[in-house]
């Protein structure tokens, strides 16, 4: 992912200047080990700014013509920066050149090329001495002072490669040397570190495969005849959605690369925005061999009439096909005349007292790294090392064919990041926006770029705190401002928006917005289904669920290398009647330390206001309480399926809302890396926790599973409104007092000092139509 040119509605020209301290450190960091670039009279403090002074004075920062503050950089690629387009090209060329024969090289299909994320101590070294704002306090001090290498380790790429000829999946690790914007004459400057074939798996499907599968099915003569039986002559109207086969029987084993498409049909060729999902073509069974791209099974099982064209089927704006837009809403503009309050340096973001890095992967989409809070004299206080959504599962509750096999793993089978799309200013995002691009490899190894893939902007969020003294009539109020980082992806019929919100009172909120179009089924005349809602003549929407898994590699008040976190569960208890509860009104919070992985398999319980706290076992606040962040669940559910449901073979992680594991670099995906056609029961989280590793004082990872039950309503037709679900990470004893939560905010908490990033005003301006 690369930064694009800043998009803004107002310019704020400010003279630019360079940072002399950054230049000194840059020269030092690139010096040979034998050189002594530090003047003996100069102290370390004079060369490296401490973490707590994250905001540069005006003379040491650069401001673009767009008004966004850019902090100086010492090197070009931070160890956590996503691979650039050039690095992806080099990695692909390196692996292709390593193929044993021309046939092998020609058969290589590139599923994924991602950064090999370095060990945490490498990230700490980079943040301490190689990239501003320099934070030497990240590294532990030794008696002789820190030993600083002359350069960081080389970056590495990890490639998942599918061999179309042999039907084999392999994983390659490539070391990247300095990569320039363009390689010369096809020359690659990478080095293969390792490669291995992974047996009995199928990697995620690719958009190129989907397009080819649709063409193959449409060209299959029995399929064309089946369409004619249904009155469909124009095959350009037909939509073939190649869903992964999943795993239901041994016939779905990964020895073959399979897809079981769903069929739909539009009514008009001249309406590109028509809702084709409004006319499902049922009764047809198709099985496609995606390796050889041939139809291997076809059966026209039942003739179900196509639902009639509905006048409300389209989703274009304006008075078309019977729909009427609301005309009484006046324009709303978000204006920041002084520019945004955040600052950026590549993928490093600083806003208020927060700082973090933005990453992006083809599978997870947005990744948030190195989250920290700048807390006055205590300096930089880490909160989390890595935050992302690592899997999502959508099981349907209709036992009829083909809906029983709808249980998509949208991250593991398709990729949330690879299905992301460009965001549009004024529609997807409002206000003063910074966009980031994302780079991916396509199936054949070319590099594709999604422009404006990630949106960073500020939002006014209503009242944060208010109090009025009834005696004096005087009132104090603080408005809430939050920084939002987001991306949106489309997986077939559904859209998913993923948002991370950072608040001024120390909260972090994760939110998923579900919208798009329903995946529907056709009905025989007069037929109804109790497993869904009839939403139009001959048309119904099956009940289903959406589950998301957030992986949170926590680091509350922990420097790299420290493992001083534990997880505590909190439940509210009603006091037993008796001498301690003579009025029968008493209740209290009871804490339980989750000591091991098996004990930490937990579910939400709204009846006891259950939540969990990640605590640092060594740090306390001024009242002597251990510092921590608590995970506060939002609305949630568990799978509404029997214990023997086939999709739970691959999704055993859905059986609990919370899992906790000690950090392990190879434990990334709760259902295993390759859930597509996976025959292995309980792979991933359900297997890892059987080790029952200790969590009493560890480098803990939280896996929070949250979901929503979707019982479609008539109002959902023709498109889905936005459902919102999520959770909150809230400071719990992390500060001396929780700002703007339980007590009035002090000047330190909310009113920024001179060395903080100033909060610039946001205005909501209503402009009346003339």
250 DSSP assignment:
G
Q: How far is the C-alpha of 580 from the C-alpha of 509, rounded, in Å?
A: 38
Q: How does DSSP assign 172-186, residue by residue?
A: EEEEE----SS-STT
Cα distances (Å, whole numbers) of residue 754 to 49, 353, 751: 17, 13, 10
Query: Tokens for 221?
Result: 């003569």
Cα distances (Å, whole numbers) of residue 365 to 106, 250, 455, 702: 29, 32, 12, 19
Query: Tokens for 543?
Result: 């009940």
CA dihedral over 460, 462, 466, 468, signed as positive or negative:
positive
Verify whether residue 663 is a known catalytic residue.
no
Q: Which of 742, 762, 761, 750 is nearest to 353 (CA)?
A: 750
Q: Which of 175, 652, 692 is nearest to 395 (CA)?
A: 652
What do you get for the CA distance between the two ends of the chain, in Å? 43
Q: How far is the C-alpha of 308 from the C-alpha of 476, rounded, in Å?
A: 59
* Cα atoms in the 13 Å half-sphere on the side-chain side of 766: 4
**Beta strands per DSSP E along 396-474:** 407-409, 434-441, 447-468
Q: How far is the C-alpha of 81 from the C-alpha of 438, rounded, in Å?
A: 11
Please pick, among 81, 206, 252, 410, the residue that the annotation labels catalytic: 410
CB 417 within 8 A of CB 564: no
Q: At what angle do helices 221-229 and 207-218 cross, to 10 degrees?
A: 70
Q: Which of 571, 574, 562 is nearest to 594 (CA)?
A: 571
Please pick, among 129, 369, 494, 540, the residue that the annotation labels catalytic: 494
CB 480 within 8 A of CB 461: yes
Exposed/middle/buried for residue 586 (C-beta within 10 Å: 0-12, 13-18, 19+): middle
Q: Which of 348, 435, 413 is nearest to 133 (CA)?
A: 348
Q: How many CB atoms lie within 10 A of CB 746?
A: 12
β-pairing verdict for 434-441 and 2-3 = antiparallel
CA 708 to chain centre: 18
Is the previous residue joined to 402 through a cis bond, with omega within 30 degrees of 0? yes
β-pairing verdict for 69-70 and 343-345 = parallel
Q: How far is the C-alpha of 176 from the C-alpha of 161, rounded, in Å?
A: 18
Verify whether residue 410 is a known catalytic residue.
yes
Q: How many CB atoms lie within 10 A of CB 45?
A: 9
Q: Which of 228, 295, 224, 215 is nearest to 260 (CA)?
A: 295
Q: Using alpha carbons only, what angle is made at residue 755 by residues 66 and 59, rounded to the nearest 5 degrees? A: 55
Q: How far is the C-alpha of 331 from the C-alpha of 769, rounded, in Å?
A: 8
86 DSSP assignment:
H
CB 725 within 8 A of CB 631: no
SS (H, E, C) 386-400: EEEEEEEEEEECCCC
Query: Tokens for 653?
Result: 């992680």
Task: Please tell me whether residue 623 adopts helix, strand or coil conformation.
Answer: coil
Active centre residues (catalytic)? 410, 494
């Amino acid at each position: 992912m690369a930064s694009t040119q800043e998009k803004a509605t107002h310019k704020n020209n400010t003279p630019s200047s360079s940072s002399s301290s950054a230049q000194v450190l840059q020269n030092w960091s690139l010096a040979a080990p034998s050189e002594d670039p530090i003047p003996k009279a100069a102290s370390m403090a004079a060369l490296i700014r401490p973490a707590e002074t994250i905001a540069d004075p005006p003379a040491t920062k650069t401001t673009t013509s767009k008004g966004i503050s850019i902090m100086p950089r010492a090197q070009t690629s931070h160890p956590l920066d996503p691979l650039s387009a050039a690095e992806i090209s080099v990695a692909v060329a390196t692996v292709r050149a390593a193929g044993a024969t021309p046939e092998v090289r020609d058969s290589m299909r590139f599923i994924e090329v991602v950064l090999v994320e370095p060990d945490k101590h490498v990230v700490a070294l980079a943040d301490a001495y190689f990239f501003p704002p320099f934070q030497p306090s990240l590294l532990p001090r030794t008696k002789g002072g820190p030993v600083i290498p002359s350069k960081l380790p080389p970056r590495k790429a990890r490639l998942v490669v599918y061999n179309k000829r042999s039907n084999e999946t392999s994983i390659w690790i490539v070391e990247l040397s300095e990569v320039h914007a363009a390689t010369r004459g096809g020359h690659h400057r990478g080095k293969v570190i390792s490669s291995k074939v992974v047996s009995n798996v199928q990697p995620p499907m690719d958009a190129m495969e989907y397009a080819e599968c649709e063409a193959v099915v449409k060209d299959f003569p029995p399929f064309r005849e089946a369409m004619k039986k249904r009155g469909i002559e124009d095959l350009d109207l037909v939509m073939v959605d190649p869903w992964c086969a999943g795993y239901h029987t041994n016939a779905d084993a990964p020895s073959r690369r399979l897809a079981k498409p769903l069929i739909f049909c539009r009514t008009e060729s001249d309406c590109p925005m028509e809702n084709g999902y409004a006319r499902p073509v049922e009764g047809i069974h198709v099985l496609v061999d995606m390796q050889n791209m041939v139809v291997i099974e076809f059966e026209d099982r039942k003739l179900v009439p196509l639902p009639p064209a509905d006048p409300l089927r389209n989703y274009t704006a304006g008075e078309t096909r019977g729909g009427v837009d609301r005309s009484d809403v006046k324009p709303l503009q978000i204006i920041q005349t002084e520019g945004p309050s955040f600052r950026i340096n590549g993928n490093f973001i600083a806003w208020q007292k927060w700082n973090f890095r933005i990453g992006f992967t083809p599978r997870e989409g947005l990744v948030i790294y190195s989250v920290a809070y700048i807390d006055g004299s205590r300096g930089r206080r880490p909160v989390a090392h890595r935050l992302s959504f690592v899997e999502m599962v959508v099981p349907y509750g209709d036992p009829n064919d083909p809906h029983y096999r709808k249980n998509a793993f949208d991250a593991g089978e398709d990729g949330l990041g690879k299905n992301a799309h460009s965001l549009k200013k004024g529609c997807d995002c409002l206000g003063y926006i910074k966009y980031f691009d994302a780079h991916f490899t396509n199936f054949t190894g070319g590099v594709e770029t999604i422009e404006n893939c990630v949106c960073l902007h500020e939002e006014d969020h209503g009242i944060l705190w208010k109090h009025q003294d009834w005696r004096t009539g005087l009132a104090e109020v603080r408005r809430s401002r939050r920084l939002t980082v987001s991306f949106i992806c489309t997986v077939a019929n559904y859209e998913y928006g993923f948002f991370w919100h950072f608040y001024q009172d120390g909260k972090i909120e994760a939110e998923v917005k579900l919208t798009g179009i329903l995946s529907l089924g056709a009905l025989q005349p007069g037929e109804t289904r109790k497993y869904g809602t009839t939403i139009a003549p001959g048309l119904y929407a099956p009940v289903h669920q959406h589950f998301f898994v957030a992986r949170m590699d926590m680091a509350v008040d922990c420097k790299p290398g420290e493992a001083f976190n534990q997880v505590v569960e909190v439940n509210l208890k009603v006091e037993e009647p008796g001498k301690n509860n003579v009025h029968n009104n008493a209740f209290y919070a009871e804490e339980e330390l989750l000591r091991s992985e098996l004990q930490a398999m937990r579910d939400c319980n709204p009846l006891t206001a259950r939540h969990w706290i990640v605590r640092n076992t060594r740090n306390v606040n001024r009242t002597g309480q251990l510092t921590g962040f608590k995970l506060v669940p939002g609305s949630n559910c568990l799978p509404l399926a029997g214990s023997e449901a086939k999709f739970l073979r691959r999704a055993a992680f859905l059986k609990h809302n919370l899992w906790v594991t000690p950090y392990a670099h190879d434990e990334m995906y709760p259902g295993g890396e390759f859930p597509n056609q996976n025959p292995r029961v309980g792979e991933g989280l359900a297997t890892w926790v059987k080790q029952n590793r200790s969590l009493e004082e560890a480098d803990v990872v939280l896996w929070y599973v949250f979901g929503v039950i979707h019982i479609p309503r008539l109002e959902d037709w023709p498109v889905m409104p936005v459902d919102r679900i999520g959770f909150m990470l809230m400071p719990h004893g992390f500060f001396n007092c929780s700002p703007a939560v339980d007590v009035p905010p002090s000047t330190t908490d909310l009113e920024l000092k001179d060395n903080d990033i100033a909060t610039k005003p946001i205005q909501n301006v209503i402009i009346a139509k003339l």
